[in-house]
Amino acid sequence: MSDYLVKELMVPLSEYATVPKGSTLFDAILALEKAQEEFDHTKYKHRGVLILDKKRQVIGKLSQLDVLRALEPKDEESIDILNLNQFGFSSNFVHRLRMQRRMTAAPLKDLCSKASQLKVEDFMQTPSAGEFIDETATLEMAVMQLVHGPHLSLLVARGKEIIGILRMTDVFAAVFHTMKECEL
Amino acid sequence: MKELKKLLERIIQRININLRELDYDVSPFIRNLVPLNQMVKFYAFYGITPNHPLDLVFRHSSLAGSYFLGKIRVRNSILYKSDIRGDELKHQGDVFKYQNFEIPITRDEGIDIEDSFLIKTLVHNFSHDPETLEKFFIRDTLSTHYANIHGSPCDGCFLGPFATVDLTTMRDCVIGTFSYVQAGEVGHLNVGPGTVWVRSPDEFNFLYRYPLDKLSHYIDFIEGRPPQGFVMDFVEDRKEGFRRVFDVVHLEQSVSIPASASLDRYAVIKPKTSISENVLVAQRAYLQNAWLGQGANAQENCYIINSRLEGCNVTAHGAKIIEADMGKNIFVGFNSFLRGRARNRLTIGDESVVMPHTIIDIKNPLTIPPGHLVWGLITNPQELEANSIALKDLSKIDDVLIKGNLSFEGSGAAFVTAFRDRIHHILEANGAFFDGKKNKMPRRTRISPLTPSSHTPTVNSRVCIRPL
């Protein structure tokens, strides 16, 4: 058994980037920037934003990948490309088609300017059952849930309340520390 | 009528069970698509020839206005004005070649239709599935107006209007309106409307998708009403012509034909039509002011109007050619719709290939150069540029071709060769190369029709089957 408990490794919700439902992507990015500035600079930077409802309950997670995905052109052609696999086209073909279509789509700068119109709830990931972990759980349980999700972070619960976020990087640091202790 | 309603409900349920994974419900499409009282208005027909076994078994089915030929079983099904043509089925003793296998055919192949509803559908050719060579099955399937099931066993499928499935075994699939699929074997696929897909695994993959807003002008199908659109109107406007050839027993041949040509008794021939040597005109073909050069063939459900075909042309099932001048050795694929205008004609050069389900509809003259492949929707020279390629250029492609709405991957040379081989095979099988001694004669109605008063038992006659 590890000595570490989840509550010792998590980032408290108050220190993490959060935005209320209805915020724009740009609001989320500003919140992330602010949280990173205020967070302990010796630690690993935050990479996501939590979305809260009116009761400040976590209803979703917005990752950096979600933001990039939101800026991808969304037209019928993009959907068609997604469907090409079912017709037996190779992944190489799909990649080349995407490249070709991307070159003729609007420049990234134009797409970024739309970030202030896009709502976070349209791009956030709703947490699944395996993404919650109790604050008293051990490091072993956290590793198991991260690996089998797989997830980049877990929401830490105290009863029904989410009190923090357990990031993979913090779990990894704890595992690494444990490894070093074993060597000694 | 009560039994018919129960039968329809049973068919709907069985199809929906098969399509549950696709979350597809056929009932809004199927109900009222054909009023059931229509089913009692038409006889069915069974063709008799010396070349095909007299072998039809049907049970608990309605066959209204449908035509059957060859070895066929029908159970728990509704067939409305469909053509079930078993004239190309395999025979006992044949050998089917598949990859490195030579598979003996142990008994005559039959078409086996069960728990299905086929509306104005053409079923033709033979099973190309090496796992079911003696049984060309169609089970739990709904096929709507003017669809083609060509050499394609189907299980749990829905075919929209003017859809074609060609040389492909299908399980639990939806094939959308005016879509064409030739892919060997497919399962659990929902192919959207206006998709033209030809795939030979490890060789090539051709996929074109129509702009749906433009396709809907030609053919459109939404739940709760019959198919609509210009192509649908075109066909429906000409159905009176067929009433006469099916209703009249003693029908005088309206055009003289050479001895080596074959004109089916159930084709419609309007004035000013000319038929040359080795021409094949199949059942339900419609010719009007059509000039067919040597070796041309007009397959089932095709329409050739005010047009000239120079020779060795293949006009595949359901293709329509209007106000056009076609060179030699041109292939026009299934359900294509080619329309020039009286003073603004469409010209297609020799050796060209018009892909299945192509629509060319022009208001100004348009010429397709010889040796070209064309596909998709073409209404002007710009669209022709986007939707065509010289066959010699396509042959050089060995990786990827992305052109307009076309996605192509693989060997262009293999694609061209496959098409050329198939066209040659069709022409050969249909007697285009008959020289009086060598090669086959045109395939079908070499023998004149039998009337009920005739005593000759071995000719192309018909059996009337009373409705339920």
Sequence spans of domains, chain B: 2-234+460-465, 238-399+411-429
Who wins on pLDDT, B316 or B456? B316
pLDDT digits (tens, 9 = 90+) for B125-172: 999 999 999 999 999 999 999 999 999 999 999 999 999 999 999 999
Residue B255, pLDDT score? 83
Minimal C-alpha gap between A99 and chain B (Å)? 12
How far is it, in rounded angstroms, from Cα B299 to Cα B64? 23
- Angstrom distances, CA of residue B300 to CA of A58, B4, B53, B218, B282: 64, 29, 21, 21, 5
Q: Is the pLDDT of residue B467 over 50?
A: no
The alpha-carbon gap from A32 to the nearest alpha carbon of chain B, in Å, equals: 40
pLDDT at B50 over 50: yes
- The confidence score (pLDDT) of residue B445 equals 36
| Domain ranges (residues) in chain A | 6-68+116-183
The mean per-residue pLDDT over the stretch B254-266 comes to 87
Assembly ipTM: 0.81
pLDDT, position B416: 95
The correct answer on CATH 2.160.10.10 for the domain covering B238-399+411-429 is: yes
Interchain pair A96, B400: CB under 8 A: yes
* A6-68+116-183: CATH number: 3.10.580.10
Q: Say whether B238-399+411-429 and B2-234+460-465 share the same fold.
A: yes
Instruction: Give contacts of A89 with chain B, Cβ < 8 Å.
Output: 205, 207, 407, 409
Measured distance between the N- and C-terminal CA atoms of chain B, rounded to whole angstroms: 9
> What is the crossing angle of helices A139-148 and A168-183, to 10°?
130
What is the pLDDT, as a whole number, of residue A174?
92
Comparing CA positions, the residue from B403, B406, B426, B326 lying closest to residue B366 is B326
pLDDT tens column, B340-357? 999 999 999 999 999 999
pLDDT of residue A2: 64
Topology at the third CATH level for domain B2-234+460-465: UDP N-Acetylglucosamine Acyltransferase; domain 1 (2.160.10)
- Tens of pLDDT, residues B278-294: 999 998 999 999 999 99
User: Which residue among A86, A93, A100 sits closest to B409, beta carbon to beta carbon?
Assistant: A93
pLDDT in the model for residue B344: 96
| Average pLDDT of the residues in B71-85 | 95
Tell me, yes or no, if A96 comes closer than 8 A to chain B by beta carbon.
Answer: yes
Q: What is the pLDDT of residue B248?
A: 74
**8 Å CB contact of A84 and B407:** yes
Q: Is the pLDDT at B436 greater than 80, yes or no? A: no
Question: Cα(B408)–Cα(B97) distance, rounded to whole angstroms?
Answer: 27
- At B361, is the pLDDT very low, low, confident or very high (cuts 50, 70, 90)? very high
A80 touches chain B (CB under 8 A): yes
Six token digits for residue B353? 């290939």
Yes or no, beta carbons of B207 and A100 under 8 Å apart: no
Q: What is the pTM of this model?
A: 0.83
A44 part of contact set with chain B, CB < 8 Å: no
Question: In this complex, do A87 and B400 lie within 8 Å of one another by their Cβ atoms?
Answer: no
A84 vs B207: CB contact, 8 Å cut-off? yes
Q: Which residue of A has its CA nearest to B197?
A: A87
> For chain B, what is the radius of gyration of the CA atoms?
21
Q: In this complex, do A87 and B197 lie within 8 Å of one another by their Cβ atoms? A: yes
At A27-63, the pLDDT tens digits run 999 999 888 888 765 667 788 899 999 888 899 999 9
pLDDT-wise least confident of A45-54, A150-159, B204-213? A45-54
At residue B459, does pLDDT exceed 70? no
Q: Within an 8 Å CB–CB cutoff, is residue A85 touching chain B?
A: no
Distance CA B142, CA B80 (A): 11
pLDDT at A140 over 50: yes
